[in-house]
Chains A and B, each alone.
Chain A
Amino acid sequence: MADALSLSDAGGGTGERGVLALLAGAAGAGALCVAGILGFLAWFSLPLLAPGQLASVLSWTWQPTSGRFGILPMTVGSLLLGSSALTLAYPLGLGLAFFAHGLGPGWAARPLTALVRLMTGVPTVVYGLASAFLLTPLLRAGFEGTSGFSWLAAMLVLALLVLPTIVLVLDGQLRLVLPGLGITAAALGLTPPQTLVRLALPLCGPGLKSAAVLGFGRAVGDTLIPLMLSGNAAQLPHSPLDSLRALTAHIGLVLATDSQSAAYGSLFACGLMLFGVSLAVNLALRGLRRSPAQATVSARPGPGLERAASALAWVSAILVPAAVCSLLGFLLLRGAPTLSPALFFCDTPALDALFRGAPVFDGLWPACLGTLWLVALASALAIPVGIAGGIHLAEFATGRAARLASFCVDLLAGVPSILMGLFGFALILLLRRSFWPSANTCLLLSALCLALLVLPYLVSATHAALAGLPQDLRLTCAALGLTRWQAVSRVLLPAARQGILGGVILAIGRAAEDTAVILLTGVVAGAGRLGTLTDKFEALPFTIYYLAAEHQTPQELDLAFGAALTLLALTLALFALARRLGAGWRPGI
């Protein structure tokens, strides 16, 4: 794009140069964030380099009471969980993509695609809650000798979580490849299933691998599902029915320890491990994007391949909707009866709570308000920077700096959210010990960390929306004598606004559902009413997590299901809106 625009490069005064510098600065912010997070992890891991410490951390026993801080069981746990979830989700994802592209009946393809899109909007904490009360009792009843909280439980639900990522990547690839094949395939006398399996699929080459890599990254990076379902025993599991602990869940569980102890230091080693995984995922993806699609058309005779694909498609199209519908149906069944004004306000008069700020206890209102503020603040921080960064990358950036910036944005997108939380928490401790002794975990800190989390979504969405515009538009602008900034601000941005707006809404949805970040940066179980920006706060996702684990009475558990339904309604509405605006979900291809 930048080449096309170089025609009008000469134009523009100092004002325009200022704007362009701001845009470049925004893109640079992404790079700075990655450097900052990595720097923090490394800095706080430094004490581990003392003699003996490293060997203690890289060992197989986690027993802080006897001074043993081995994180290897958790590292293996994360890798096992991620790879097993992917192994389960990948064939199912492939099957769903097949089903939607001609191996299933035409009337079923649309609702199935809609269901997969809906799945992208389900918060992980909601999956966690529904599974903890539906899936684990089933596993307990079905298998002898397991408590239900196990590798298997976490794996099954994680597979559901990463499934839409896989399906949508494959679906996108097939949509690109299939239209060009139609006539040729028909001329060769191939049936649609043959075209799909023998021609289109091999053409998707790198896309197939990208789907796997993205799915793996998403599975390893999730915190709430392992935390709520895997049982969290710091051991190597001997069977899928055993309990295991993932790195992300480990950080959430152990952050509670003395911040000058070796246990605390070992958390940053966990953080580095996770960062390493997301770096590896990212490098793998970049490698895949460079390698050209090589069509190795499968010429083996016999109808076996089509039959197998067809069977896979049908199995997936039955299993996945059944699993999703039973989890969401269970949630609806448990949550719907709780929906009433009392769910939100308990015994406080609603008008007092709404207009006079009367405190509400045992109701969801303060958590709803907390989530709204959190999302509003995070958006205010992230949206301008994200859009500016995306504009810079799409229209102005060139050369090595551009590649570096976009690499950093991709990397930031892959950083597990618990690391953003860890970063925020460590930042506050550092500030308190240095020049700002009154700094504290609070609403503003959480919003800042959430802004970091959603920033890459905004950059990518803006970048993609602008990059998707027809090239003629840019040439016309240049021919009319518009400067580069005039072209962007008057023509290109308005043309791409729907895509950008969709990205904004997706980012808002992501900010509303994340639990891991706020877990470490200032959320509390009870506050009664909203305070100021520098106060601690309640939020819906954390309320669900907290009540699911710690409810004292059946009424409190009902509150958790009510909260889950409320959050689900909120995120689904946001995702539906984003979809209407045509942004859709853009996997990093």
Chain B
Amino acid sequence: MRKPLLPTLLALILCALPAHAGELDAFAGKSGKIDIAGGTAHIPVMKEAAKRIMQKAAGIRITVAGGGSGVGVQKVGEGLVDIGNTGRALTEAEVAKYGLKSYAFAIDGVAAVVNPKNPVSALTHQQVQDIFAGKITNWKQLGGRDAAIHLYTRDEASGTREVFWEIMLKKGQIAPSANVVASNGAMKTALAGDADAVGYVSIGHIDQTIKAPLLNGVAPTQDNAKSGKYPVIRKLYMNTKGEPAGIVASFISYIQGPEGAAITASDGYIPTR
């Protein structure tokens, strides 16, 4: 997978720092379980952290499931999991109803993406809105080849969808004919196999199998997202019901700490740290 250079370097440097080698010690000799579900952009980071922690502490079992941000809120709110991930800030209603606490650990952009074979390499904000509203229906209208545009969107539980819809589409309509996929990964798979597709993914998921056209002349990269040049951004959160305790608290500080930041960066996101 091709990764942006800066985060990779950052990751290498952070990994190399001997001072942080002992971060996993917080888990040594501990036991218990942590169930995680929700945002699909979070999964690579969660899985890598789970792997490192479980290899260090045999008594700890961490399970990771996806489902989307909606699932994250629902499951942690109902107490079915310990950490519910969301790719968007919680609403006041959600916080009030379930008593949730949020812990941000990464900044991520959401970009409109196409198949690498698609010659269209730049779009305006307005064009993206018109494509998803179903007003522009052929790539020819955008300077591409003469082929119908295949729309892909996410289900309503998706935080990626919510951020894209609010900021990119300005809460405009998404054509009901759009195919619905269940995760960032599934979106990538669908777009990689369909030369006439357009969809949207977390920038952390962009690799050589899909292509992100410039938006109003700005490349959707994590650097531009960090500097504020690229506007469609969000934070990735872990949420708990009430104050976390025990190994759940340790897990959250591990993800927010230097080693977690290195994992976050190596998965293509910008650590908030």
Contact = CB atoms under 8 A, between A and B. Distances in A.
A531 B32 CA distance: 11
B214 interface: no
B1 to A, nearest CB: 6
Contacts, number: 153
A549 B64 contact: no
Interface stretch (A84-92, A313-321, A459-467, A521-529): A521-529
Interface size range of chain B in the complex: 35 or more
A527 B80 contact: no
B179 A136 contact: no
Interface residues of A, number: 57
A550 B147 contact: no
Nearest to A231: B179
B244 interface: no
B23 to A, nearest CB: 19
B71 A148 contact: no
B33 interface: yes
Question: What is the interface of chain B mostly: helix, strand, loop, or mixed?
Answer: mixed
Contacts of A137: 193
Interface stretch (B14-22, B39-47, B122-130): B39-47
Interface stretch (B106-114, B148-156, B249-257): B148-156
B80 A440 contact: yes
Contacts of A257: 70, 74, 156-157
A551 B155 CA distance: 18
A430 to B, nearest CB: 11
| A contact face: mostly helix, strand, loop, or mixed | loop
Contact of A359 (B35, B51, B64): B51
A36 to B, nearest CB: 21
A144 to B, nearest CB: 7
A180 B153 CA distance: 59
A232 B79 CA distance: 29
B150 A146 contact: yes
B176 A234 contact: yes
Interface stretch (B3-11, B54-62, B231-239, B258-266): B54-62
Interface string B80-110: 1000000000000000010000000000000
A333 B253 CA distance: 45
A263 B63 CA distance: 27
A259 B43 CA distance: 23
Contacts of A243: 177-180
Contact of A525 (B65, B70, B157): B65
B189 A245 contact: no
Given A147-B190, A149-B179, A552-B185, 20 more contacts: A145-B148, A148-B193, A232-B181, A233-B178, A233-B179, A234-B180, A253-B157, A253-B180, A258-B70, A258-B74, A260-B97, A263-B156, A359-B55, A429-B78, A440-B80, A527-B62, A535-B63, A536-B65, A550-B40, A550-B43
A-B pairs with lowest CB-CB distance, top 6: A550-B185, A256-B157, A549-B186, A145-B148, A147-B150, A232-B180
Interface of A: 61, 64-65, 133, 136-137, 140, 144-149, 231-235, 242-243, 245, 253-254, 256-260, 263, 357, 359, 361, 428-429, 432, 437, 440-441, 523-529, 531, 535-537, 546, 548-553, 557
